[in-house]
Every structure is written in structure tokens, then in C-alpha cells.
Structure 1
Amino acid sequence: MTTFVDRVELYVAAGNGGHGCASVHREKFKPLGGPDGGNGGEGGSVTLVVDAQVTTLLEYHHSPKRKATNGKPGAGGHRTGADGHNLVLPVPDGTVVLDREGNVLADLVGHGTTFVAAAGGRGGLGNSALASARRKAPGFALLGEPGEARDIVMELKSVADVALVGYPSAGKSSLISVLSAAKPKIADYPFTTLIPNLGVVTAGETVYTIADVPGLIPGASQGKGLGLEFLRHVERCEVLVHVLDCATLEPGRDPLTDLETIEAELSQYGGLEDRPRLVALNKVDVPDGQDIADLTRTSLEERGYRVFEVSALAHKGLRELSYALAQIVSEARAAKPVEESTRIVLRPTAVDDAGFTVTEEDGAYRIRGIKPERWVRQTDFANDEAVGYLADRLARLGIEQQLWKVGAKEGDTVIIGPEDNAVVFDWEPTMASGAEMLGRRGEDHRFETQRPAVDRRRDRQRGRDVADEEYRAFEALSSGRPAIEGDGDDEEY
């Protein structure tokens, strides 16, 4: 049974936002009391959080699909729908989040660090929130937005200051067991260590972590053995320690050859050229081990390595090695800039940014932008009034004007959104702008008091007084004089 997993593919899906409600307030003696539809609830998000108690991605290996809950729809009486529950996924310190193409989305280091892997959808507005002076009684509401859904890859890179690298059975696990309180499995056969082991070492006033990287053999950087699976755990380390076996009985192996082989694999993996190296000649307590160390030490020092002769069994040279590592770690920590406070990055919108783009693609015009794409997702296309409201919003944003500029003509195909989820329609400029219904879209005459046969509001707009007109017409009829010239000629009456 797998007990350690450091790479998983995970499908995360946020909750959808709840739909807004289109409702009319009704009560005794007031059957049409105005719009009172509430907003939909927000969809739950999927968030990754670094937890110091979690050391493996095993949980997500067994359950690779995670989904947050949806927001509830709004209701009448101005009742807002309940928000969906956020799904919080604990991950180990040092987890790197990537997309399917290998692009890094987040590097999670430090207890409590969070990353929203999938954002919940917005709740739709109810008709109460859409009401205005011009739109007194909207007969529609906005739909909730769908939550984000995507596949991510999580890779665990151990957060350690020191990495022990070397051939299998070189004594890395033995060293970490005597340098720290870690208790790894130790045996005299290759590939005893199947997972990276972490230990905490105290050397004077410096406390640092040390890890052994298992399974490095020739070809590890190309996937041979276990090396490729665990080379990523070396990336965060400040210093590398080559653990060389001075008592190996395998033909064709010696400390110098082992060093060259491991260095070649690290070089092919890449990104580790700037890390300082130390060499630990291990097992000098066994017969001929000290002789091999004496013969090898000079060659290693000529290559620029700092060499330590150690024995995990006899506890020889461990103090010198641990303090040398502590010095390098302390210097590396001091060289890093200290961030006194959280940096806030501001990215203001460009002054010439219209919020959308219009491009011609194979005879059609595609519109891309956060606002128009979101508005399309929120529109109930089964409701004509909602479609008209969308048209007005797009016109106010300037999309129609931009279509004219790029050469679009009436009847041309217009596409809003990405290829996999787009709305396609034939462009009709007059209808798209809402000009034929300007100022009247969203009105419901049931909410207006009963008016006389003559529409007084329109007459006032023309500068006429209906009462005076009726009085003069009545006076003319009573006296037998002809009616005022022009009465009844207007077709709008």
C-alpha cells in the first residue's frame, strides 16, 4: 500500500452561484407591491492551505476529484440565497501547484499559506436589485455564474536546508538518524529508503532541517530507478552533501566515480549549479574504509570540495559536519532579503483599456472580455426582457460602436466568449442597441395607477396641457364654433 505520494493530479470544481429570483410582492389590498426577488448565493470555492501536520499527498491520490457546494437561489421577500460552503484542502509545506501544461500556478511555502484553486461562481441579482428609476419592475433576474473547474497537478518539494545525495546504501539514512532524531528504515540492501526522510538538526544556535534523497543511480534524471521521483526534493535545499561510500564491494565503484555519476545526474536535472557542495566520506570505521578515504581526500580537495570523514556507526566526524552545515545555512539565510511586511502589487487598468476586444475570425467577429463574457453567462436567453437588458449593457460598454469601427455589418456573425463556450448571434444594430425600446425596457404597466384615455405624460412632454385642450374643445362644441384646427391629426392619439 502506498504510504507516501508527492505528485498527484487533482480535479477541482467550485460551486455554481445561485440564480436570482424574479418575484412581485403581493399582499391584501396591494396585489402588485413591486419587485422583491432576492439575490442568489455565492458558490463555494476550493482553497489549498498549507498544514504543518500534513506530510504527503496520499489523500488526494485516493480521491482525485473535489467539488465545493453550490449557492442557493434567491427567493421572494428580498431573501438572499445561502452561500455555498468553501472546500479547504490541506496540503504539505512545499507544495507546488501547476496546470496541465506545466505552468506554475502557486508555490505554497509556510504554514497557513493559501491558494484559491477554483473560485466559486457569483450569485445572480434578483429583480429587486435590478430595479431602477427607468426599470421599475424588471420581469427577469440574472443567472448565477458557474464556478471554475479545472485539472491541477500538485508536486511536493521538501522544505529542507540540507540534502544528502548519493548512491543507494551509501549511508544517508544512517547519517540522518544520528545527526537528528529521525528514525528512518535502515538496511544493507539497495533502495531501502523509498521516501525522503526529514530530520531537524541543532548545531549551536542554528537549527536546520536535513533530508536524504533516495534512489539516485545512473539515469535517474531520465526516470531510471527512483531518482526522478525525488530529485525535486533537492530544489529547495541550500546545500548539498555528497555521501560517498568508502566500503562498497560493488565492482567498478569508488568514491570518485560515484561523485561524478551523481553530479552528472544533478546537472542533467538542472537548476542546482549554484548550490554549495560538501563531501562526506562515510563508513571510515570498516576495514579498508579509512585507507580509501585517505586516498580519495586529496583528489576531492583539489576539485574544490570541502571533505569530512564520518562514520554513522562510530559517530566519527559528525560534530564537524553538522557545524559546517549550520554555518552555510546561516549565511544563506542572512543573504536572503527580509520582507518586513506583505507587499501589495497594484496593477491599474490602462487608460485606453475598453474592457473588451473585438477581432475578426473567419468572417465572424469575436468579442472577448471579462464583463461581456460574464454578462452572457448571467443572461436567461429564454426571457426576452433579459436578452434586451443584455443588449443594453453591451451597447453602453461600447461594443456596438467598436463593431462599426472594425467594419461589421448588419447580419454578420458575432461571437461572445471563448471557443468552447460561446454565444453566437447575427448582429442587428438597431435591436442590439435597444433604441426602439429606449427608456421603456423593464417597465410593467400593472404597477402604474390608472390613467385617463389621453396620455398626460406624453402630452406634457410636447408642451401641451391636456386639461386646457379638452376644455377648449368642449367650449367650441357648446358654442357651435368649429374645433381647433389640427385636433385629431396626430396618429399617436
Structure 2
Amino acid sequence: MTTFVDRVELHVAAGSGGHGCASVHREKFKPLGGPDGGNGGRGGDVILVVDQSVTTLLDYHHSPHRKATNGKPGEGGNRSGKDGQDLVLPVPDGTVVMDRNGEVLADMVGHGTRFVAAQGGRGGLGNAALASARRKAPGFALLGEPGDVLDIVLELKTVADVALVGYPSAGKSSLISVLSAAKPKIADYPFTTLVPNLGVVTAGSTVYTIADVPGLIPGASQGKGLGLEFLRHVERCSVLVHVLDTATLESQRDPVSDLDIIEEELKQYGGLDDRPRVVVLNKTDIPDGRDLAEMVRPDLEARGYRVFDVSAVAHQGLKELSYALAEIVAAARAAKPQEEATRIVIRPKAVDDAGFTVTREGDDLFRVRGEKPERWVRQTDFNNDEAVGYLADRLNRLGVEEELMKAGARAGDGVAIGPEENAVVFDWEPSMMAGAEMLGRRGEDHRFEAPRPAAQRRKDRQAEHDEAQREFDEFDAF
């Protein structure tokens, strides 16, 4: 049964916003008291959060579809809908978030790091929020926007200071088991280690993590063995430790050739040339292994490597190795730039940025693209003529009609707003200017005018009575 997964494709869907409500306030002696439709609630986000207690992506391997809840629709009485609940997904430290094309969206390192993978849709405004001095009684509300729906790839790159690399059965698992409290599986056959093992080592005042990467073989960078699958786990390390077997039973192998082959695979993988290297000659407790170590040491030192004779079984040379690694790790940490406080970068739009574009496609089709017009289209209820007129007003104020004229659009030409696969298409009529004019003076219903105060009503009734009495007196005198 699979217990370790370090790469998954996740299908995430944020919640959609709730629809706004079109409602009119009603009570005794006040049947039409004005619009009181509430706004829809915001859809929930899908948020990735680094959790130190999570070490694998196994849960998402079994359940790759995740969705946040939708916002609730608004109601009458100025009651706004409830916001959708955010969906928080814990991920291991060192998780890289990418899109399906391989572009990195976030590199999540550090406990509590958060990344909004999918943004929830906005809730639609109710007719109470749409009311204005010019539009006192809107008979429509805006629809809620759909939430983001996308596929992302989660790839785990182990966060370790030291990475042990080498041939299968070179003794990497044995070495990490004696340097730390880790208990990896150890056996006398190749590819015993099928997943990276992590251990914590304390050397003096320095505490660092060490990773045992599954064995590499020739061609690992091209996918042979397990190398390609797990080489990503050495990308974040500060130092690479070559564990070389000095007591191998294979006659065609020796420590120097093993080192050359592994270095070639690391070179093919790329991005690791700047990491310092340390060579560990393991299994020197065996006489033949000790003799071979003494033979190859001058050659390795001549190449500039620091070489340590170690026996994981006999616990020989471990203290010197652990302190040497601690020294390299401490120097690497000191060389890293200090983390700066989070900054908010503001990039104002250019003064000539209209917020949309108009492009001609063919002889009689023009496409409008832009955040605002596309969002306004998603919010419009096309079954409501007044809502359609309101959309036309907004597009006209934004300058869409003017740009269409400049682009050469003529009456009857098709205008598409949005991407090709999900666009709203209509025949353009330049005489409309703003589609609401065809619907009359929208929102100026005299029934929603504010009632006169009681004193004014009494005064008006008395004036009417006096006028009637005066006319009667004049008629009686005649």
C-alpha cells in the first residue's frame, strides 16, 4: 500500500458567490417602502497552509477533488447572505505549487505559510445597494460570480540541510540511523529505501536535518530506477554527501567510479553545481574496505573533496562527520540573506489603460476582453431587461461603445464579451448608446417617492377645504 506520495495533481474549486436579492419593503400603510434586497455572500476560498505535522501528499492522492462552499443568496429586509466557508488544505513543508504547464505559483516553506490556490466568487449586490438618486427602485439584482476552478500540481521537495546520495546498498540508511533517531528500513538488498527518510542531528550548538535519498543508478536523471522520482528532494539541501561503498561485491565497481557516475546524474538533473560536496567512505570496518579507502583517498582529496572514513555498523568516524557537516550547514545559514518583512507592492495602472481591449475577429465580429466587462457580464441576469439595460449603461460609461466605433464596428456586427469558449455575443446597435434608454426612465417609480409629513398633509387638506369654501361662497353670492 502506498504510504508516501510527493507529487499529486489537485483539482480545486472555490465557492461561488451568492446572488443578490431584488425585494421591496412592505408593511401596513406602506405597501411600497423602497428596495430592501440584501447582498449575496462571498464564496469560500481554497487555501493551502504549511503544517509541520503533515509529511506526505497521500490524502490528496486518494481524494484529488476539493471544493469550498458557496455563498448564500441575499434576502429581503436588507439581510445579506452568509459567506461561504474557506477550505484550508494542510500541506508538508517544502511543497511547490505549479500549474499544469509547470509554472511555479508558490514555493511554500515555513510553518504557517499560506497560499490562496482558488479565489471565491464575489457575492452579487442586492437592489438596495444598487439604488441611487437616479435609480430609486431597481427591479433587479446582480448575480454572484463563480469561484475559480483550476488544476494545480503539488510537488514536495524535502526541506533538509544535508542530503545523502549514493548507489543502492551503499549504507545511507544505516548512516542516518546512527547519526539521528530516524529508523529507516535497512536490509542487504538494493532499493530497500523507497521513500526519503529524514533525521535530526545535533552537533554542538548546531541542529540540522539530514535526508536519506533513495539509491541512484546510472540513467537516474532519465528516469531509471528511483532517482528521477526523488532527486527533487536534494534541491533544497545545503550540502551533498556522497556515501561510497568500499566493500561492494560487484567487481566492476569502485568508489571513484561510483562518485563519477552519481556526479554525472546530478549534473544531468541540473541546479546542484553550487552545493558543497563531502565524501564518506563507508564500511571501513571491513579489512578490504579499509584498504580500498586508503587507496582511493589521495585521488579524492586531490579533487578537492573532504573525505571521511566511516563505519555505520561499528560507529566509527561519526562524531567527526557530524561536526564537519554542522560547520558547513552553519556557514550556509549565515550566508543566506536575512528574511525581510512582508512588503506590499503596488503597481498602479498606466494613465492610458482603459481596462479592456477591443479586437477585430473576421469581417463582422469584435471581441471585448477585460476584467471589468467580463465580470459585469457574469453578474448580469439576462432574463431581466432592466438588468441588461444596467449592463449597457456600465459598458457605455467604461467607453466600450466608443472603442467599437474606433475599431470600425457597424450596426448589426457581432460583439463578443469574454473568452472564445465562454463569451456573451450580441448584435451591436450603436443607436442604443446605452441600452437602458430603450427601457424608459428606469428606477423613477413615483410609488417609491417619500411620503409627505403629517403636518404637510393636514396643511394641504386645509388649503383644499379653504379653496372649496371660497368657491362655494362666491357661487352663493352670485
TM-score (norm 1): 0.89
Equivalence for 1:351: 351
1:431 aligned partner, one-letter code: M
Offset at residue 339 of structure 1 (A)? 2.4
- Mapped to 2, the partners of 1:397 and 1:439 lie a distance apart of 21
- Mapped to 2, the partners of 1:42 and 1:173 lie a distance apart of 50
Assess if the C-alpha contact under 8 Å between 1:45 and 1:120 holds in 2: yes
Offset at residue 95 of structure 1 (A)? 0.3
- Mapped to 2, the partners of 1:46 and 1:409 lie a distance apart of 44
SS of equivalent residue, structure 1 residue 420? helix
Query: How is 1:115-194 mapped onto 2 (pairs within 5 angstroms)?
Result: 115-194=115-194
- Mapped to 2, the partners of 1:154 and 1:239 lie a distance apart of 25
Equivalence for 1:421: 422
Offset at residue 331 of structure 1 (A)? 1.2
Equivalence for 1:91: 91
- Mapped to 2, the partners of 1:248 and 1:169 lie a distance apart of 9
Offset at residue 446 of structure 1 (A)? 3.3
* Change in 2 beyond 3 A, CA 1:228/1:449: closer
- Mapped to 2, the partners of 1:346 and 1:330 lie a distance apart of 36
Assess if the C-alpha contact under 8 Å between 2:390 and 2:436 holds in 1: no
Assess if the C-alpha contact under 8 Å between 1:134 and 1:440 holds in 2: no
* Change in 2 beyond 3 A, CA 1:81/1:380: same
Equivalence for 1:39: 39
What do the CA deviations read for 1:385-412 (whole angstroms, capped 9, x no partner)?
0000001001111111111122222221
- Mapped to 2, the partners of 1:81 and 1:280 lie a distance apart of 64
* Change in 2 beyond 3 A, CA 1:223/1:432: farther
2:30 aligned partner, one-letter code: K
* Change in 2 beyond 3 A, CA 1:111/1:449: closer
Offset at residue 228 of structure 1 (A)? 1.0
2:21 aligned partner, one-letter code: C
> Which range is displaced more, 104-113 or 198-207?
198-207
Equivalence for 1:360: 360
Gaps of 5+ in 2: 452-478
Equivalence for 1:2: 2
- Mapped to 2, the partners of 1:18 and 1:449 lie a distance apart of 31
- Mapped to 2, the partners of 1:56 and 1:280 lie a distance apart of 29
What do the CA deviations read for 1:76-106 (whole angstroms, capped 9, x no partner)?
0000011111100000000001111111111
How many residue pairs align between the two structures? Answer: 450
Equivalence for 1:74: 74
* Change in 2 beyond 3 A, CA 1:111/1:439: farther
SS of equivalent residue, structure 1 residue 209? strand
What do the CA deviations read for 1:101-127 (whole angstroms, capped 9, x no partner)?
111111100000011111111000000
Assess if the C-alpha contact under 8 Å between 1:244 and 1:259 holds in 2: yes
- Mapped to 2, the partners of 1:432 and 1:87 lie a distance apart of 44
Equivalence for 1:309: 309
Identity %: 81
* Change in 2 beyond 3 A, CA 1:346/1:296: same
Assess if the C-alpha contact under 8 Å between 1:163 and 1:210 holds in 2: yes
Offset at residue 449 of structure 1 (A)? 8.1
Assess if the C-alpha contact under 8 Å between 1:168 and 1:216 holds in 2: yes
What do the CA deviations read for 1:185-238 (whole angstroms, capped 9, x no partner)?
111111111110011111111111110110311111111111111000010011
Offset at residue 344 of structure 1 (A)? 2.1
**Does 2:274 align with 1:274?**
yes
- Mapped to 1, the partners of 2:101 and 2:162 lie a distance apart of 30
Query: How is 1:183-262 mapped onto 2 (pairs within 5 angstroms)?
Result: 183-262=183-262
- Mapped to 1, the partners of 2:436 and 2:112 lie a distance apart of 53
Equivalence for 1:64: 64
**Does 2:422 align with 1:431?**
no
Q: CA RMSD in A?
A: 1.4
Assess if the C-alpha contact under 8 Å between 1:19 and 1:74 holds in 2: yes
* Change in 2 beyond 3 A, CA 1:63/1:432: farther
SS of equivalent residue, structure 2 residue 287? coil
1:423 aligned partner, one-letter code: V
Offset at residue 360 of structure 1 (A)? 1.5
- Mapped to 2, the partners of 1:436 and 1:138 lie a distance apart of 15
- Mapped to 2, the partners of 1:30 and 1:254 lie a distance apart of 96
TM-score (norm 2): 0.92
SS of equivalent residue, structure 1 residue 288? helix
* Change in 2 beyond 3 A, CA 1:358/1:175: same
**Does 2:410 align with 1:409?**
yes
* Change in 2 beyond 3 A, CA 1:39/1:349: same
- Mapped to 2, the partners of 1:446 and 1:434 lie a distance apart of 24
Offset at residue 324 of structure 1 (A)? 1.4
**Does 2:289 align with 1:289?**
yes
Assess if the C-alpha contact under 8 Å between 2:388 and 2:435 holds in 1: no
> Which range is displaced more, 336-345 or 375-384?
336-345
- Mapped to 1, the partners of 2:340 and 2:436 lie a distance apart of 56
* Change in 2 beyond 3 A, CA 1:82/1:6: same
SS of equivalent residue, structure 2 residue 422? coil
Assess if the C-alpha contact under 8 Å between 2:99 and 2:151 holds in 1: yes
Equivalence for 1:375: 376
Query: How is 1:102-121 mapped onto 2 (pairs within 5 angstroms)?
Result: 102-121=102-121
SS of equivalent residue, structure 2 residue 447? helix
Offset at residue 436 of structure 1 (A)? 3.3
> Which range is displaced more, 338-347 or 137-146?
338-347
Equivalence for 1:14: 14
- Mapped to 2, the partners of 1:439 and 1:296 lie a distance apart of 94
> Which range is displaced more, 89-98 or 317-326?
317-326
Assess if the C-alpha contact under 8 Å between 2:18 and 2:73 holds in 1: yes
- Mapped to 1, the partners of 2:10 and 2:73 lie a distance apart of 29
1:372 aligned partner, one-letter code: P
Assess if the C-alpha contact under 8 Å between 1:138 and 1:444 holds in 2: no
- Mapped to 2, the partners of 1:131 and 1:169 lie a distance apart of 75
Assess if the C-alpha contact under 8 Å between 1:54 and 1:91 holds in 2: yes
> Which range is displaced more, 434-443 or 251-260?
434-443
Offset at residue 438 of structure 1 (A)? 9.3
Gaps of 5+ in 1: 451-493
- Mapped to 1, the partners of 2:408 and 2:326 lie a distance apart of 69
Equivalence for 1:459: none
Equivalence for 1:331: 331
